[in-house]
A and B are shown apart, each in its own frame.
Chain A
């Protein structure tokens, strides 16, 4: 069965620090990969997604993620975080040509000014 692992459950950073959130998935076939974000009191929303092409994907608000197929990973990065990045971040995967989106448990990011 497919699964998604987010090893960092809670990350605390100061503003301007660099961020990397890990995401690993288990599935041997072609996948589509997503990062969703949930800001406090708001809906889950898409941050970025990968389905083909350049494995380095740029998203909103300066976020990027790199798909490394050999490592089954899709880590999220941001060079310099801001207080407004405080949120919960969810990695998700769906096997190509399926309706089923599998989510990780989420990583709670707190950024202090």
Chain B
């Protein structure tokens, strides 16, 4: 248990569905991240939030929409996804932005399957 929780742990959705992934950190951190982990590919950073402000959008398609209402919660809203979006989505948090060489703490991930 790292203090970062993600729900749901597994999600199956159709291409026309709208769903949301939730991440919550109980560590008092100020930075939160979304990553995508696909088979045989490196972990890809999707979004970074520092103090609730988005500071990085790594060329992610608009069908992925992040939301960070406060420093403890991070959402990833999904709509009209494609089968190639099937992957493990990981949330992470760190005390401060990475410039301070902070350790990132990862959640268990949400395994997403798009049919």
> Interface residues, chain A, CB within 8 Å of chain B?
4, 32, 36, 43-46, 49, 51, 90, 92, 94, 96-106
Contacts and interface: CB of A to CB of B under 8 A. Distances in A.
A99 B92 CA distance: 12
11 contacts: A32-B98, A32-B101, A46-B103, A51-B101, A98-B99, A99-B56, A100-B45, A100-B48, A101-B33, A102-B45, A103-B42
Contact of A94 (B92, B98, B107): B98
Contacts of A103: 42-44
B50 interface: yes
Interface string B39-75: 0111111001010000110100000000000000000
Given A45-B106, A100-B58, A105 B40 contact: yes
B98 A43 contact: no
B106 to A, nearest CB: 4
Contacts of A32: 98, 101
A97 B102 CA distance: 11
B31 A99 contact: yes
Interface centre among A36, A51, A90, A100 (most CB of B within 10 A): A100
Interface string B73-115: 0000000000000000010100001110101111110000000
Interface of B: 2, 4, 31, 33, 40-45, 48, 50, 55-56, 58, 90, 92, 97-99, 101, 103-108
Contacts of A100: 45, 48, 56, 58, 98
Nearest to B43: A103
A83 to B, nearest CB: 23
A44 B42 contact: no
A106 B37 CA distance: 11
B106 A101 contact: no
A100 B41 CA distance: 17
Contacts of A101: 33, 45, 98, 104
Given A36-B106, A45-B106, 7 more contacts: A32-B101, A43-B107, A43-B108, A98-B98, A100-B56, A100-B58, A104-B42
